[in-house]
Structure 1
Amino acid sequence: MINADPKTTRIGWIGTGVMGRWMCQHLMDKGFQMTVHNRTRERAQSLTDAGAAWADSPEAVAAASDVVFTIVGFPEDVRAVYLGENGILAGAKPGCVVVDMTTTQPSLSQEIYAKAGEKGVHAVDAPVSGGDVGARNAQLSVMVGGDKNVVEAITPLLEIMGKKIVWQGGAGAGQHTKMCNQIVISGTMIGMCESLLYGYKAGLDPDVMLSSISGGAAACWSLDNLAPRILRREFDTGFFVEHFVKDMGIALEEARQMNLALPGLALVHQLYLAVKASGGERLGTQALMLALEQMSNIEFRQK
């Protein structure tokens, strides 16, 4: 088992987007030898400039690494990166630990765990919450599923990227926990946006209003981090709408399989589909405000 020592532990990283770029950098800043791969090589340029080695495929990353982290876009990307031709499991050696930090289907995490185990490879699912700000500031919450002894071995690495690391149980448990997280956020997002619209129509100063409610029972991450972006009309940064739509879709499908009704989640999912359909798929999740403004025929604040 690895000992998470930068002198002896080689790390691979696949997925250097809005969040992965920063998470990988934090490990490099601690002195770990890094091999990286991304579908678009240019997105990894800042990391290779900082000393990371480039690999042409997930297989090549795994062959050069003791621990491989992934954070990609969609379940089909996860499947291709791990199980496809030139995928991680084609290159990983026995004893290697692979850690998927993408939000994906719990069943896919369990499948990867089983197939990795056949090769003597340890698979962990460790989705995160905290958005681009949390990734940049190493303040993520990490929800972890997998064998406890393996999770304990990699926890020092996870602690470099996050402020709260919690083992949830066996394979897939981290992903199920992330679904719980996204269900809460979906309700929080619509509540935050509707409160801003209500305050606007009531003639309140939004900054003053937020200073009050963010210090009371309504306090939450979205009010602190996303409401200010809405006030500044900043919709092009943050966690992408298309990824949140994907997450909510996974949660709704998992709920369906459990014969569980989640009408609030279904409503917010539909509203975000409207944002996506209007061309907002690559906007931050705070762009929900744009759909609600259109429904109310107002713009919250002039640009």
Structure 2
Amino acid sequence: KIGASIVESPADLSGVEVLATMVSTGSDVEAVYFGENGVLSGSGVPKIFVDFSSIGVDQSANIRARLAELGADLVCAPVSGNGKCVKAGKLSAVASGPKKAFDQVKDIISTIAGRGVSYVGEGELARFCKIAHNVMLGAVTQNLAEITVLAQKAGVPRRAFLDFMNNSVMGSIFTRYKTNAFVNLDWTTTFTPTLLRKDLDLGLAAGRELEVPMPVTAATREALQTHFGAASLKDDPEGYLQGDFAALLETVALAAGEKLESENDPYPTGLE
């Protein structure tokens, strides 16, 4: 509708001035940039690479060094939010890398990051910020699942409890748009448990490197691992783990001996 075109392979993008990527892992980024039929297998080298992915700090630094040898800059710009947030204009981003390169691509990043982009400095600092963000995501989701099951077992409908939480000082964009999943047991994928586990591991690794104790993160990682154990009892474990990480609610309920049923009561997400 606005003039974009689809190419056959990343190599077809070697002639662009700015290349933007958003994939699942650091290995995926490396494959897109350096792999067979990757961008750099073509005839040119983009001047600036903008990566919106959530990957490890060391892997990002290695990618940056390899690009620098080719005369290209890397701007890390991991995001907070999902596709629905993009459509609602509520995605945000955090960026790091050469300031001059960032200034050149800030408007491009802001096109999808409607709530703004925060430049935090040189190198891989944005990676640390996104890892910290996703550590909080895991801890908040686990805790939200626990207190929701607690309220239900005490006799409070999930929708009523979460409506109270959303309207309280503890409510957030996240708790509001996850309410439908918890109320109606809708595990349509926005972010998988596997990716969350990867990010918690990155957070714990960063904590060890910088000697920061992270007991809550460690406990969240162990709680998340029980979800993988529970998934192994499903008819299709692999398919189940491709669902949304909000299904952690089911694992908490299982441990509490509490039965979950959809309340079939749509809740406004705030992203409409």
TM-score (norm 1): 0.77
Structure 1 residue aligned with 2:75: 124
Matched position secondary structure for 1:144? strand
Q: Give the % identical residues.
A: 19
Structure 1 residue aligned with 2:162: 210
Is 1:293 the equivalent of 2:253? yes
Of 25, 43, 55, which aligns to 2:8?
55
Q: Distance in 2 between matches of 1:59 and 1:242?
A: 29
* Letter matched to residue 300 of structure 1: L
Taking a change above 3 Å as real, the CA distance of residues 243 and 141 of structure 1, as seen in their structure-2 partners, is: same
Matches within 5 A, 1:28-177: 31=2, 33-34=3-4, 52-56=5-9, 58-61=10-13, 63-91=14-42, 93=44, 96-162=47-113, 163-177=115-129
Structure of higher RCO (CA pairs closer than 8 Å, 6+ residues apart): 2
Of 195, 200, 206, which aligns to 1:254?
206
* 1:200–1:300 Cα contact (<8 Å) kept: no
* 1:132–1:239 Cα contact (<8 Å) kept: no
Taking a change above 3 Å as real, the CA distance of residues 211 and 240 of structure 1, as seen in their structure-2 partners, is: same
* Letter matched to residue 96 of structure 2: G
Q: How many residues align?
A: 254
* Letter matched to residue 254 of structure 2: Q
Matched position secondary structure for 2:53? coil
Q: Distance in 1 between matches of 2:222 and 2:109?
A: 34
Structure 1, residues 155-210: CA drift from partner, whole Å, max 9, x if none? 11111101220111112111110011112112211121112111111212332322
Larger strand fraction of residues: 1
Q: Distance in 2 between matches of 1:296 and 1:213?
A: 21
**What is the root-mean-square deviation in Å for CA atoms of aligned residues?**
2.0
* Letter matched to residue 262 of structure 1: M
TM-score (norm 2): 0.86
Matches within 5 A, 1:216-255: 216-255=168-207
* Letter matched to residue 268 of structure 1: T
* Letter matched to residue 130 of structure 2: K
Taking a change above 3 Å as real, the CA distance of residues 260 and 125 of structure 1, as seen in their structure-2 partners, is: same
Structure 2 residue aligned with 1:14: none
Structure 2 residue aligned with 1:199: 151
